[in-house]
Structure 1
């Protein structure tokens, strides 16, 4: 049987998979980054145990990726950073997606068991 900490980590992984694969390829321009950030965060926050999502899309990177006259590019991992907080049972999991060695890496930042105060960084 899974512990609350393992289940919380699993839930965080599900949220990241959903976030990335649902929104990768979405048309984005410098004019639409804020609204897309909000849409992504609010969509993922609807999922069970997800308490907070912060999405930051890099306007300059979006502008640099536009290579045609239509004025937009497709959203991909190198254009955004995401922080997420999932709570399951008495456990809080903090995660982050950011570029690392040219790859949008999703990682576990912190696991805190509120029942006994353990921090499993």
Structure 2
């Protein structure tokens, strides 16, 4: 078996995975309410955009779902999980642009590469 250096596309996809892992595992479990959702989303975006090769991050938190979850419980907040978030990121690694998304699919927060543009 011969060894090779990863291509820029592979590295760009790897970088996207690192960003998603960081975003999800750093913020999952954070106490959240509809009133704090916008500031938490902004903090998440800014934190992840600090990482190398990250061009843009957009975090949308579903405040209607948060309100439903809180109404069904006894506290005035809930914990942030993937069911409340939609995330899109764009990674640029050596001119390879990788677009990614996280959305809820069958109750699971699915993180995926949605597009790759080479030579950008």
Band of TM-score, shorter chain: over 0.9
What is the DSSP-based 3-state SS (H/G/I as helix, E as strand, rest coil) of the residue aligned with 2:98? strand
* SS of match in other structure, 2:6: coil
* TM-score of the two chains, using structure 1 as the length reference: 0.92
Is 1:83 the counterpart of 2:85 in the alignment? no
Counterpart pick for 1:37 among 41, 45, 48: 41
**Hey, what does 1:99 align to over in structure 2?**
104
Deviation at 1:27, TM superposition (A): 0.5
Structure 1, unmatched stretches of 5+, are 116-121
Could you say what the CA RMSD is over the residues aligned between the two structures, in angstroms? 0.8
Separation in 2, partners of 1:68, 1:4: 49
List alignment gaps of at least 5 residues for structure 2: none
Q: Secondary structure at the match of 1:109?
A: strand
Partner residue in 2 for 1:5? 9
The answer to whether structure 1 residue 46 and structure 2 residue 50 are counterparts is yes
Does residue 113 of structure 1 match 2:115? no
Compute the displacement of 1:65 (Å): 1.4
The residue number in structure 2 matching 1:62 is 66
Task: Provide TM-score, normalisation by structure 2.
Answer: 0.93
How far apart, CA to CA, are the structure 2 residues paired with 1:55 and 1:95?
A: 12
SS at match of 1:114: coil
Aligned length: 114
Query: Runs of 4+ in structure 1 displaced over 3 angstroms?
Result: none
Give the Å deviation of 1:17.
0.3
Say which of 11, 24, 30 aligns to 2:28: 24
